Structure 1
Amino acid sequence: MADAGGEIGLSELATTSGLPLPTIHRLMRTLVSCGYVRQQANRRYALGPRLIRLGESAARPLATWARPQLARLVEETGETANMALLDGDEVVYVAQVPSRHSMRMFTEVGRRVLPHTTGVGKALLADLPEDQVRALLARTGMPASTERTITTPEAFVAALRTVRERGYAVDDNEQEIGVRCIAVRVPDSPTATAISISGPAGRVTEHSTERFAPILRTVAAELSSALAGP
């Protein structure tokens, strides 16, 4: 259901899973009664609200596993390190290790933002098919957080092409004026995950980006191995 965008019909579920339609129907009734799935007015099924609690519980150990890698990012870049997941149409921050600088950036763990305003959002969406990206943007809208925020689908899709070419994403004063962020996706993670470093625009300059991006990619690869387990 999640892979289908969060909503799917019984026949599609049966085809995708290979299970008989009566079995699918029985499973859906159980999941609806437990709150993990809800039935829409159009008779299709959507992800339910109780999954939020499961997601939050799963994110806690994920944050614990990521902490050593995030701490390494802080050590090597001097800036605050973050980890974020794509949860439905939103980005949720699940872990952070702060910079040691007196002037530093804080993003509250648990904070949810729209993907088009952030570096982690760009990193998370860059590998999705364009039609899925446009559908997400249509659902969320593209409100501006600052005058630098990308607010049209065409410009955002073009920005994602740049992310794929460079291998990293940049938030250049788009979420908050005076703050720059560099982000990469964690490859092969069990759920769409990105890590980033953020700091004052005066320190996280275009020149420093060239040094920080390879460090981020290396740490993302190590984090991918850690999440995969033995």
Structure 2
Amino acid sequence: MVDPNSRVADIGTDHAYLPIRLVEQGKVSYAIASDVAKGPLANAEADIQAAGLADQIETRLGSGLETVKKEDQIDTVVIAGMGGKLMVTLLSEAASRGAYYPTLVLEANIGENNVRQWLMDNRYEIVEEDIVAEAGHIYELIKAKLTDQVHPLTVKEVEFGPLLLKQKTPVFYQKWEGQEKYYQKLLANLNKAKQKDEVRIKQVEDLLAMIQEELAH
């Protein structure tokens, strides 16, 4: 999902595997590998040195997008492997400083709907989505481009992904069949409670109805 010849910042880079792969493949010639923790960043530095790419990949220590400066001329930000709420917090912090990036490539481990809502609210258009199963986990990938207008999404599109809804791959069904079981259990437990949280029950019922409708098609 990273466009060729872009200038990339990988936020929460851990071992810097992604920037290393992108540079090795010749897809990009410059990347920032950024992490909030010193340990992972030390790992990243060692891996970058071992790959002989220290002059093309810079490491930065700090929180979120605070490590990226205007003079870096970053046009693509990758944030992968964290929760959607945290991702939105980091993107919002940057936006509050007027820092918007032309292309975002995002992979939230949970709360993808929060991410899509933020993208819509901030005039990003979702241009590509994918859903993959890997080592017992299912991941959704979202690529979005900054535009000058709002690209409205329906409640369903925020929840399931506008492009994933069109593609409906076997992994899409696998994910939502699992989610259906999860919410059925949750609903049963909510209904057993002595003091029922009617608002939460209604939320879960609506979500279940939406999931079941998509699984039926």
TM-score w.r.t. length of structure 1 = 0.26
TM-score w.r.t. length of structure 2 = 0.27
